[in-house]
Structure 1
Amino acid sequence: MKNVANCPKCGALFVKALRPICNPCYKEQEDNYDKVSRFMRRKQNRMASIREVHEKTDVPLEQIHQFVKEGRILVTHFPNMGYPCESCGKLIQEGRICASCKGNITGGLEKIAKEKEFQQRTEENIKAEENAKNKTYHSLNDRIDN
């Protein structure tokens, strides 16, 4: 019975077939989506922020974020909707992290790559100097005094 699991929301035992949550929790989630969807369809609510939607519909913020992430609520139609960046928490509308966090990460990776490249060049220069010293030879004729 490897398809039996506990629901991550309520802890109830259920057969995990199509969804990662039990049927009652799924029904509750769909009801919450209907609430948000009906609220957002009204013309006066299209510019509402996530906080306003949460306050007016009593749907948890995490669930509204999930609806936006899944693409069930389109940010093209509702520009004030979004979900938090996984790094800093700033509201974003696509991806997992915001542009500034992405820049910090790529900048840090570039810095590390440059440091490694510098280290390799330094090691290569040291080896080249050692090889040059080892190739030098002295003749006995140079040491004999006339």
Structure 2
Amino acid sequence: MAEVRNCSACNTLFNYTGIRDICQKCAAVEEEQYQMVYRFLRKRENRAATVERICEATGVSASLLYKWVRKNRLQQAMFPNLGYPCDQCGHLTYGAKLCENCSDTLKKEIKHLEAAEEFRTSVKKSENGTYLAQRPNK
């Protein structure tokens, strides 16, 4: 069952079906913009265009281009200079939410935390030795 939401682009009410977060009118405008960008990129001389160049030539916002790249509508294999910002640092990335540098940093931190947890576990195990509760009376 559809629910009523506000369009994230124009703030009008529409029936949200789980497919888009924008109304039909804004979706039609967005699709026209996508076709314009795609026609621009299909030209051989524009295939290596950067996000800034595409925005300048077509008038489409960078956030919309990033959205299309994330959804794989504009594929990085066909257009090598397209990417989207890393969720951590904002540097352009091409296949994941994090760039390679942030991903490596995160992996190192996880290894460090795992090593610390192993150390704590080994210390706890060594503390669980047997102890003499009372000294024997002589």
TM-score (norm 1): 0.85
Cα distance in 2 between the residues matched to 1:42 and 1:97: 30
What displacement does 1:62 show?
0.3
Matched, 1:113 2:114: yes
Q: Distance in 1 between matches of 2:128 and 2:52?
A: 62
SS where residue 14 of structure 2 aligns? strand
Residue range with higher mean Cα deviation, 86-95 or 117-126: 117-126
Shift of 1:127: 2.4
* Counterpart residue number, 2:88: 87
Higher-Rg member (1/2): 1
Aligned to 1:10: 10
Q: Which residue of 1 aligns with 2:55?
A: 54
Q: For each residue in 1:85-130, what CA deviation from the matched residue of structure 2 results, as whole angstroms up to 9, or x when unmatched?
A: 11111111111111211111121111111111111211222222xx
Question: Which structure 1 residue ranges, 5 or more long, are not aligned?
Answer: 141-146
3-state secondary structure, aligned to 1:134: coil
Partners of 1:136 and 1:100 lie apart in 2 by 57
Runs of 4+ in structure 1 over 3 Å off: 135-139
The aligned amino acid for 1:134 is L
How is 1:18-97 mapped onto 2 (pairs within 5 angstroms)? 18-97=19-98
Farther-moved stretch of structure 1 (66-75 vs 12-21): 12-21
Tell me whether 67-76 or 118-127 shows the greater mean CA deviation.
118-127
| Number of residue equivalences | 137
Give the whole-Å Cα distance in 1 for the aligned partners of 2:34 and 2:103: 30
TM-score for the superposition, normalised by structure 2: 0.90
Deviations 1:70-93 (Å, cap 9, x if unpaired)?
111111111111111111111111
- Kindly report the root-mean-square deviation, in angstroms, between the aligned alpha carbons of the 2 structures: 1.8
Query: What whole-Å deviation, never above 9, does each CA across 1:38-83 have from its counterpart, x for those lacking one?
Result: 1101111011111100111010000001111111111111111111
Unaligned runs of 5+ in 2: none
Q: Offset of 1:15 from its aligned partner?
A: 1.4
Secondary structure of 2:5's aligned partner? strand
Paired residue type of 2:75: L
Aligned partner of 1:122 in structure 2 is 123
